[in-house]
């Protein structure tokens, strides 16, 4: 399932527009906060799909029955660009376990690249709901490699992917490799450059959030 949070207008559309806007995206704090807010909205929407159980709550004057999350999800993110969205998810799923993955594009001299996955830190994943945040779902290669690696640590019950902007090429690749995942995105673009960047996209989310990096 693919859910485009901008299909119907909401504040998400405004935040995505600000992420894209060259006159606004240079404000790093605002850029990070907009990613965080999209993560918060995605967390709220995902929470509607999770299993609940009835629980009696004692108030000063009596008891009330409420539906509560049956189990906490595992929030996973791909460093470094995914950190602001991860924080947004964590603001809402504030009791969740967390996983961190270092996956990046290792560029070759001919302009091609490979996905290098150097580090994973995660809790028990067996039969858990896993929510992976990555602001740009471009080719989908890093996400698929991340999912395969996480599955070596345990077999999640369900996997959700949260992205600010996704490309149809990447969506199709992820769904082909992992058909059961649910993808939540702030918006969807159709074009991908030869170097794997989304068009119109927004540029390099990691650089815009945290500053430019030296290419290794």
Q: If DSSP states are collapsed to H, E and C, what string results for 70-135?
A: CCCCEEEEEECCCHHHHHHHHHHCCCCEEEEEEEEEEECCCCCEEEEEEEEECCCCCCCEEEEECC
pLDDT one-digit tens code per residue, 72-105: 999 999 888 999 999 999 999 999 999 999 866 6
Q: Mean pLDDT check: name the lowest of 7-16, 139-148, 163-172.
A: 139-148
Domain map (residue ranges) of the chain: 2-50+69-210
3-state secondary structure at position 20 = helix
Where do we find the tokens 């660009």?
Answer: 81
pLDDT in tens, 37-81: 999 999 999 999 999 999 999 999 999 999 999 999 999 998 889
pLDDT recorded at residue 216: 56
What is the structure's pLDDT at 117? 73
pLDDT confidence of residue 215: 63
For range 10-17, the mean pLDDT: 96
Compute the distance between CA of residue 143 and CA of residue 123 in angstroms, rounded to an integer.
18
Q: What is the pLDDT of residue 31?
A: 97
Query: In CATH, what is the architecture of 2-50+69-210?
Result: 3-Layer(aba) Sandwich (3.40)
pLDDT at 113 over 90: no
- pLDDT of 107 > 60? The answer is no
Q: What is the pTM for the complete model shown?
A: 0.91
DSSP per residue, 35-54: HHHHHHHHHHHHHTTS-EEE
- Contact in structure between 43 and 88 (CB atoms under 8 Å): yes
CB distance 76 to 122 below 8 Å: yes
In sequence order, what are the residues at sequence separation of 6 or more whose Cβ sits closer than 8 angstroms to the Cβ of residue 124?
97, 154
How far is residue 180 from each of residues 5, 135, 183, 211, measured CA to CA in Å?
A: 19, 20, 10, 35
Phi, psi at 78, each rounded to 5° = -100, 115
H or E element in which residue 28 lies: helix 28-47
What's residue 110's pLDDT?
A: 61
Q: What angle do CA 39, 177, 185 make, to 5 degrees?
A: 20
What local confidence, expressed as pLDDT, does residue 175 receive?
96
Q: Which pLDDT tens digit goes with each residue over 117-162?
A: 777 888 999 999 999 999 999 999 889 989 998 998 899 999 999 9
- The pLDDT score that the predictor gives to residue 77 is 94
């Amino acid at each position: 399932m693919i859910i485009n949070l901008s299909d119907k207008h909401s504040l998400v559309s405004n935040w995505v527009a600000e992420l894209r806007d060259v006159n606004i995206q240079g404000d790093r704090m605002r850029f990070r906060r907009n990613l965080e807010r999209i993560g918060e909205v995605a967390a709220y929407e995902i929470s509607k799909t999770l299993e609940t159980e009835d629980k009696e709550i004692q108030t000063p004057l009596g008891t009330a029955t409420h539906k509560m999350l049956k189990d906490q999800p595992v929030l996973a993110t791909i460093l470094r660009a995914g950190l602001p969205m991860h924080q947004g998810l964590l603001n809402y799923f504030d009791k969740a376990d967390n996983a961190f993955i270092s996956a990046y594009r290792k560029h070759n001299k001919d302009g091609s690249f490979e996905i290098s996955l150097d580090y994973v830190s995660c809790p028990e994943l067996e039969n858990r709901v896993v929510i992976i945040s990555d602001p740009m779902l471009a080719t989908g290669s890093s996400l698929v490699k991340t999912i395969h690696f996480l599955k070596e640590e345990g077999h999640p019950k369900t996997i959700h992917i949260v992205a600010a902007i996704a490309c149809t090429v990447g969506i199709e690749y992820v769904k082909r490799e992992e058909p059961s995942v649910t993808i939540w995105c702030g918006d969807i673009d159709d074009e991908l450059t030869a170097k794997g960047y989304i068009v119109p996209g927004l540029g390099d989310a990691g650089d815009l959030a945290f500053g430019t990096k030296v290419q290794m």
